[in-house]
Amino acid sequence: MKSIYQNFKIHEIVYLLLLIALLSGYIKNALLILLIVLCHEMGHILLCCLFKYEINRVVIYPFGGITKVNKLINSSINKELLIVSGGIISQCLLYLVMAYCWKMSLINSGTWLMFNTYNKSIMLFNMLPIIPLDGSLFIKLILEKFLSYKMAYRWYLIIGIVSISIFIFKSREILINNLMVLSFLVFKILEALKNYPFIYQKFLLERYLYDIDYKRIKYEEDFNKLGKERFYFFRREGKVVSEKKLLANLFDRKR
């Protein structure tokens, strides 16, 4: 837990917005949102710790958090699905705690209604299929179960671009918080597009360097159809060649 604390950061803009909220009389609103965001991110963090993934960095923003984890791209899809779902699960547990506090008169009705509104809004927002929100990651992981990694990533980008376009069209109110969120989301989509070649090469390199635990064996003709959790054999010049051999040829040639 010490390493998590060392790599945990609340972005400076959060402190600025808390100060503005304090001066304008909306400090309760801001603190409730921060509580929900922290709780959401803790759900991801605790599941990463459960699966013994190393957490590189956690950054809390006014509208959400980003947890960067040191793990293989070829990690278990089911484990990753649980980690992605951890934020929503954590918010549901927080809802039960706050509901109990309200029923026991530990918080008043106004605070309960305010929390309930923010909690639902943040939960629904995170379920949107916009990069890098949980909804987009969940869809990407489901696609990876059935498609090649390259094809799943391309659909992940397409769905993300279409979703952000619809979101921008629907966000007609030009408010500072809307602009901040939109700017962040657009930046993350552009980053995902830019990093696609590097990420795909990393996906291939992992399969060459590490002895990954695969669930199935598949035979394919097209090398671009490599997918997660499956080990591949290919036909080359009348022979059956493993993906390890082809990857060795690919990366040895690049040296």
**Can you give the pLDDT at residue 251?**
87
| Reported confidence tier of residue 175, pLDDT bands at 50, 70, 90 | low
Share the mean pLDDT of the chain: 90
**Can you give the pLDDT at residue 170?**
77
3-state helix, strand, coil split of the chain in percent (to 5) is 65, 15, 20
- At residue 131, does pLDDT exceed 90? yes
**Can you give the pLDDT at residue 26?**
87
pLDDT winner (highest mean) among 37-46, 57-66, 169-178: 37-46
Contacts 24+ apart (CB under 8 A), 134-142: 134/84, 134/85, 134/87, 134/88, 136/160, 136/163, 137/80, 137/84, 138/81, 138/84, 138/85, 141/77, 141/80, 141/81, 141/84, 142/81
| Reported confidence tier of residue 177, pLDDT bands at 50, 70, 90 | low
The stretch 156-176 carries a mean pLDDT of 83
127 vs 68, more confident: 127
7 vs 228, more confident: 228
Query: Which of 46-50, 59-63, 222-226 is predicted least confidently?
Result: 59-63
Label residues 47-82 b or e (16+ Cβ within 10 Å = b): bbeeeebebeebbbbbbbbbbebebebbbbbebbbb
The pTM (predicted TM-score) of the whole model is 0.89
